[in-house]
């Protein structure tokens, strides 16, 4: 089932998760054990992130050696494995950065063959490694371009124009939204204009970047509606579990952590930080649900223990 259909048909709030593929060479049974721990919460869909190639520098006796590799391959295989094993819809992430349009089309064809109905179209983090584009091939520069490519395939239009009898795909397309604006945008209103372009190109719903202050989400929601964006906007949430995240989350995701939360975490003993994160997230969830939000999306990667604590606290 498509994400948009889950949202339309559900009579109660939906809880979905986003996970990260295993490191190269990882054991799929490890991932299944993790999925076993969250499947009891009946997520209607699970997002699986994607990662482009990265540059790794290694020191050798003859000097520094540069290697290019994908640390976390397997998004397509993991998405299909989860869907078939647990009968849960999956949302593989499709990136602009690091992939040509031709590679993207091949990936979408595979997903279509394998019965995956949902994708999240995102630009992706700009990699340190700029993959050379072979002659005669092109790339999607922005998420809007990627949405257009997917939407074209949904209409039976492929990159090879002579494929007159090509079967149309039927992907539900999600895109990212940024309540505190994307770091490359000059301001929030300009960022919302870019988001509107993604919706006008054919995206079906938005899932937001994580935020720790609900006022950012409600302000973003209102301003999107004022801009004519009517699709569902799913709030994305993250539970703090360590002091290191006070640096890593703002540094990697360009979001603010409220002063009250950061002060409490800084003063706490390490073994108490997870409980602080759970309590903060619980208050966020309660306010969002009380104000009519129909779906919550949790960035859990491969750690379900805080989620267990949260749902016990919320009695979900």
Domain boundaries, the chain: 3-314
Asked if residue 96 lies in contact with residue 49, where contact means CB atoms within 8 angstroms, the answer is no
Give the span between the Cα atoms of 60 and 265, in whole angstroms.
Answer: 40
The pLDDT tens digits of the residues spanning 61-86 come to 665 655 555 567 889 999 999 999 99
For the cut 90, the answer to whether the pLDDT of residue 260 exceeds it is yes
For the cut 90, the answer to whether the pLDDT of residue 39 exceeds it is yes
The pLDDT tens digits of the residues spanning 41-57 come to 999 999 999 976 544 55
Confidence grade of residue 159 (pLDDT, cut at 50, 70, 90): very high
Query: Is domain 3-314 classified as CATH 3.20.20.220?
Result: yes
Give the span between the Cα atoms of 74 and 58, in whole angstroms.
Answer: 24
**pLDDT, position 11:** 82
The whole-model pTM stands at 0.91
Give the span between the Cα atoms of 316 and 313, in whole angstroms.
Answer: 8
More confident call, 133 vs 281: 281
Confidence grade of residue 40 (pLDDT, cut at 50, 70, 90): very high
Question: If we measure between CA atoms, which residue out of 257, 222, 224 comes closest to residue 241?
Answer: 257
Question: SS3 for 169?
Answer: coil
In the chain, the percentage of residues whose pLDDT exceeds 70 is 89
Confidence grade of residue 220 (pLDDT, cut at 50, 70, 90): very high
Give the span between the Cα atoms of 154 and 204, in whole angstroms.
Answer: 13
């Amino acid at each position: 089932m498509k994400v948009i259909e889950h949202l339309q048909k559900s009579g109660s709030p939906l809880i979905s998760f986003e996970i990260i593929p295993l490191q190269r060479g990882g054991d799929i049974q490890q991932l299944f054990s993790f999925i076993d721990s969250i499947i009891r919460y009946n997520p209607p869909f699970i997002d699986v992130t994607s990662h482009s190639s990265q540059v790794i520098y290694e020191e050798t006796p003859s000097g520094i050696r540069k290697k290019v590799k994908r640390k976390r391959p397997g998004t397509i295989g993991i998405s299909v494995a989860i869907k078939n094993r647990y009968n849960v819809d999956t949302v593989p992430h499709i990136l602009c950065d690091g992939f040509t349009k031709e590679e993207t089309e091949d990936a979408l064809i595979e997903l279509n063959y394998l019965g995956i109905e949902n994708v999240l179209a995102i630009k992706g983090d700009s990699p340190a490694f700029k993959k050379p584009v072979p002659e005669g091939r092109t790339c999607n520069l922005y998420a809007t371009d990627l949405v257009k490519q997917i939407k074209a395939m949904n209409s039976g239009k492929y990159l090879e124009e002579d494929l007159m009898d090509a079967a149309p795909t039927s992907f539900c397309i999600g895109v990212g939204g940024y309540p505190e604006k994307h770091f490359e945008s000059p301001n929030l209103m300009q960022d919302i204009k870019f988001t509107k372009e993604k919706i006008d190109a054919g995206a079906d719903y938005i899932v937001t970047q994580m935020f720790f202050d609900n006022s950012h989400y409600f302000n973003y929601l209102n301003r999107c509606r004022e801009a004519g964006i009517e699709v569902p906007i799913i709030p994305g949430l993250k539970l703090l579990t360590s002091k290191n995240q006070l640096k890593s989350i703002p540094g990697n995701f360009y979001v603010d952590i409220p002063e009250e939360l950061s002060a409490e975490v800084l003063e706490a003993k390490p073994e108490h930080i997870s409980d602080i994160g759970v309590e903060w997230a619980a208050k966020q969830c309660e306010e969002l649900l009380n104000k009519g939000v129909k779906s919550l999306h949790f960035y859990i990667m491969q750690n379900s223990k805080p989620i267990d604590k949260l749902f016990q606290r919320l009695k979900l």
